[in-house]
Amino acid sequence: MSENCESKYKDARPAIGEGLRGSGICGVSCDRSGWGPDRGGWPHDVLGDASRDERAGKMLHACIFAPMIPATGLCVGLDLDTGKMPQQYRDRPDALVAFGMDVIDATREWASCYKINLAFFEQYGIPGIEAMYQLRKHCGSSYVIADAKRGDIGNTSAAYARAVFDDLNADAVTVSPYMGRDSVGPFLEVADRMVYVLALTSNPGSHDFQRMDIDGQPLYRRVMESTLSWPRNGDVGFVVGATNADELAMLRGAYPNVPLLIPGLGAQGGDEQGTVAANAGGPAVFNVSRGLLYCDTSASCMTSIATEAARLHAVLTSR
């Protein structure tokens, strides 16, 4: 743990949250995110053009919440579809588990995290749910995002939070803010976890509501500003699609140290280099699912997947 960080900010810790993941506020935990005084200072693109007090606050946020934030880089999306798998897996009764485990093994060296899309397992009923839990276990200590997009009245959201955090043991979850603060609050109450709130998504339908003008600003900005003002014990980030590079650049300028989950690369058409440039070195994981999982359907598919994961890692961690 950094002595300076420990002594300067120790009194603020209870007000932020308890049960922090990892061995300390800085040290190893800050190393995971690539930030911290022990790594040569706090980068300008994280702290921005802030006053001394503002910079201290941002350093506190990074120190306290770094254990909950995955390292910037490739997020491997486990959107498993037996119909798209290579033939040697498709014919197996354990296709989900076999293919999923092999993908995890092939990409583990290059993946910052894994995103389990619950719907792709739920569609197969009990066998799919069982496969999902086996793959979560196979991820081991790797950072895991439960892509659930949950959001409901308070007691229902509390049940969802227990399911993804206590039972599935996910490190993070995606949630929908459409029903407001009381639907997101139960997720934010859980210490030591990350909540990614949908803000500006990568699908064409994002134009239907998310960009609506609300008192001079788009709805997605209102969502972000409101969510950041709500009390929380864990950390909060936002889903911002790679298909919205101009807005991503604007948001990164406004929120240089807020974690982002950025889907939309590969099959959805997001540009890799443009997205990395728009992110400007901020804390983010870039999800790739179909473009990685099904990049090769031959018998040597896992070699191709590993090669593509290495390439993506190099591109997505470039500054």
* Residues designated as active site: 149
Q: For residue 285, which of 194, 184, 185, 166 has the smallest C-alpha distance?
A: 194
Nearby residues of 27 by Cβ (< 8 Å), 6 or more positions away:
1, 2, 36, 38
Q: For residue 270, which of 202, 196, 200 has the smallest C-alpha distance?
A: 202
Burial of 226 (0-12, 13-18, 19+ CB in 10 A): middle
> How far is CA 220 from its chain centroid?
18
Q: Which amino acid belongs to residue 173?
A: V
Q: For residue 312, which of 266, 267, 280, 269 has the smallest C-alpha distance?
A: 266
How many residues are there in the chain? 319
Q: For residue 42, which of 58, 29, 25, 54 has the smallest C-alpha distance?
A: 58
∠ Cα 131 134 136 (to 5°): 110
Nearby residues of 98 by Cβ (< 8 Å), 6 or more positions away:
89, 92
